[in-house]
Structure 1
Amino acid sequence: MTSTDAITHDNDHSASPTPAHTAFTARLAAGAHLLNLDCGDGVDLCWLRDGGFRVTACEPELALARSASRRSGQAVRVCPIAGMRSVLPYDGIWLSRPTNLAGQQATDTLRHLATLLKPGALLALPVATDLAATMAQLAEQLTEDEIPLAICAEQPAQSAAASSYLLLTRTTA
């Protein structure tokens, strides 16, 4: 390994937890293994790791993956959501950026995310549009397409300053 291959850790990553972060992590066991998808520049990755969780991170854009690696001091996989594979399922998945939840691609993405989770594990989806409408549409989609995910009864409080998040859980079906 040359000096240019080393990942240098940048300690400047303090992000204040949002209600969604708090609701998500409150449901997890200490030391849970999480997947941070579309991790961007690594702010959520660092926040989750600082919370005592083991985190695998994935980002489709090389420049952002490099930034996340520098910020967190750990390797970040460079691949889209659809390309993410894992031998062992995760205790939870946190998506850092909204994903398209309409159409066949969304069905395929949700089905793929379910395969990456243990039964009962959490999935945190950021929502870019109207939360209530997205929730209704998603509930119908999960049922119609027989996707083994369910919308959690208790959702995080929403903040005007932060992205809205929807929590789902992996069912056994």
Structure 2
Amino acid sequence: MRRAALLAVTALLAGVVLVGCRRPSPPPPQPLPFDHSIHVRVELDQGTLQCTSCHPGAERGAHAGLPALAYCLRCHMRPQGDPPSPREHLVREAGARGGPFRWIQVTREPGHVYFSHAAHVSLAKLTCKDCHGDVTSWQAAPKAPNQRLLSMDRCLACHRARGAPTHCNTCHQ
């Protein structure tokens, strides 16, 4: 009986170790190879597109958010570029069927982390580039979070440099 219990516990621990050591599966592909480098040069009536043009929550919410299909269709009702992007028609097709067009969210923080874009952008006056790097050169949407840019060590270094709070419960629930 005791030996069976020991074997069961050993098997359970081995299973936990094996599951913990496996590589995470890659995220699903984005529906389009979104090119930031092109979009940041787009001229609108009000000037060029800004990060907050497509990510409006960055100034007033916890999450920057992703653009609604209706916003994309403001420009993409007709083919853009010369030659047009080979997959751009997917945006129009999503609009024709009434949407939605689903981008894969890759930068959401874990549930135990509290982060507010609004606090960092509106109150601390950080720019998108301060945390996300130079997105003007990105030729595809990220496939996964950039751990070098979005890491606890980098956040703490910034908090220390700016005299912002560094207590654990500032960011962790």
TM-score, L = length of structure 1? 0.23
Higher relative contact order structure (alpha carbons within 8 Å, sequence separation ≥ 6): 2
Structure (1/2) with the larger strand percentage:
1
TM-score, L = length of structure 2? 0.23
Highest Rg: 1 or 2?
2
